[in-house]
């Protein structure tokens, strides 16, 4: 195993901090081919890659062992979802005392050469940054942005991506602080894991990354966005249809986020803004003839407020 906690040279004379990439996989063999291949081609010296497999039934594990023998594989044995799978690797790093930079990376991504270097060096140069994100563009349309920073309305509670579906060339390339970092590609600074602890698995689906970011800000940390670092995400550029169950989970997580991070004195104003937020989502689905999905928007919020089990 390579020596840790020491800067390594990138072959161009510049020192690079130690970096661990954590990937959670569930039946993602098709995505892993591109993701792991891109990490290999990044040529980041001493890069450590950990794949947590959430009980896949495809050939993900055997294929990775055969084609990427340097990847450390942890078989969770069950689908622990995004937060639970990442926590398996984070616990391992805690137990080892590994204080490297840590990048939580979705399996359905491609990382262009130079992006890991840009993101890690930008974070290492900013001691106030506990978390950091790259610019994320659509893999099918790399000129168009999926995430260019996260925005959280302090009074409204609305959580959204900045720059979504805009042309990357028209957006500011300079680093800046943002409200939250997406879990698609979220980097933790050395020491951040010790200060923040593990991801909150009670969110179940969506919201874990926003929760983690808000926890960092509440404790005095910043979330740095580095547009010159790029990750490509295999996600549709259209708004597409979601199943009622996914919408129900998203609504639950959104309400949980509000209850966790907004003080009760702000709830009256927050309630009005959120009512408009949920009504808009419901109307959108009704307009497209998706009655079950529209009802799931409200049902998820109600079930979370009632404290029903998932």
Residues 90 and 145 both lie in one domain = yes
Domain, as residue range, for 66: 8-233
pLDDT of 135 strictly over 80: yes
| pLDDT for res 1 | 30
- Tell me which of 198, 233, 268 is where a domain ends: 233
Least confident residue range of 53-57, 161-165, 306-310: 306-310
Quick check: is 165 in a domain? yes
Least confident residue range of 13-22, 82-91, 93-102, 221-230: 13-22
294 token code pair: 């529209």
Residue showing tokens 């997580």: 253
For the whole model, what pTM was predicted?
Answer: 0.91
How many domains in the chain? Answer: 2
Q: What is d(CA 163, CA 146) in angstroms, rounded to the nearest whole number?
A: 7
Are 214 and 180 in contact by the 8 Å Cβ rule? The answer is yes
Residues 40 and 137 both lie in one domain = yes
> Which DSSP symbol is given to 207?
-
| pLDDT for res 28 | 95
H or E stretch at 144: strand 141-147
CATH of the domain at 162: 3.90.550.60
Residues 75 and 157 both lie in one domain = yes
User: How many CB atoms neighbour CB 165 within 10 A?
Assistant: 13
Residues 82 and 123 both lie in one domain = yes
| pLDDT for res 4 | 37
Distances (CA, A) of 220 to 159, 223, 259: 20, 10, 20
Q: What is d(CA 290, CA 283) in angstroms, rounded to the nearest whole number?
A: 10
| Measured distance between the N- and C-terminal CA atoms of the chain, rounded to whole angstroms | 41
Residues 251 and 225 both lie in one domain = no
Residues 92 and 166 both lie in one domain = yes
Quick check: is 80 in a domain? yes
Backbone angles phi and psi of 206, in degrees to 5: 75, 155
């Amino acid at each position: 195993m390579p020596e840790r906690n020491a800067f390594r040279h990138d072959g161009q004379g510049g020192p690079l901090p130690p970096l661990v990439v954590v990937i959670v996989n569930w039946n993602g063999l098709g995505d892993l081919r591109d993701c792991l291949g891109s990490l290999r081609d990044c040529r980041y010296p001493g890069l450590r890659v950990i794949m947590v497999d959430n009980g896949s039934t495809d050939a993900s594990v055997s294929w990775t062992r055969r084609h990427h023998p340097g990847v450390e594989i942890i078989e969770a044995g069950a689908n622990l979802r995004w937060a639970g799978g990442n926590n398996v690797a984070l616990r391992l790093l805690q137990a080892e005392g590994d204080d490297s930079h840590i990048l939580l990376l979705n399996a359905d991504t491609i990382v262009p050469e130079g992006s890991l270097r840009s993101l890690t060096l930008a974070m290492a140069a900013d001691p106030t940054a506990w978390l950091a994100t790259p610019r994320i563009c659509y893999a099918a349309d790399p000129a168009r942005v999926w995430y260019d920073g996260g925005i959280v309305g302090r009074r409204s509670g609305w959580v959204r991506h900045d720059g979504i579906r805009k042309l990357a060339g028209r957006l500011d390339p300079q680093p800046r602080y943002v409200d939250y970092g997406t879990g698609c590609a979220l980097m933790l600074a050395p020491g951040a894991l010790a200060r923040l602890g593990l991801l909150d698995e009670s969110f179940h689906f969506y919201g874990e990354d926003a929760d983690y970011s808000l926890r960092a800000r509440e404790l005095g940390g910043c979330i740095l966005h580095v547009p010159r670092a790029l990750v490509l995400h295999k996600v549709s550029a259209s708004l597409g249809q979601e199943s009622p169950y996914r919408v129900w989970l998203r609504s639950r997580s959104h309400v949980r986020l509000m209850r966790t991070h907004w003080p009760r004195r702000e709830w009256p104003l927050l309630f009005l803004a959120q009512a408009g937020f949920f009504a808009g989502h419901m109307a959108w689905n009704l307009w497209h003839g998706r009655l079950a999905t529209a009802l799931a928007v409200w049902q998820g919020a109600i079930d979370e407020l009632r404290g029903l089990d998932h």
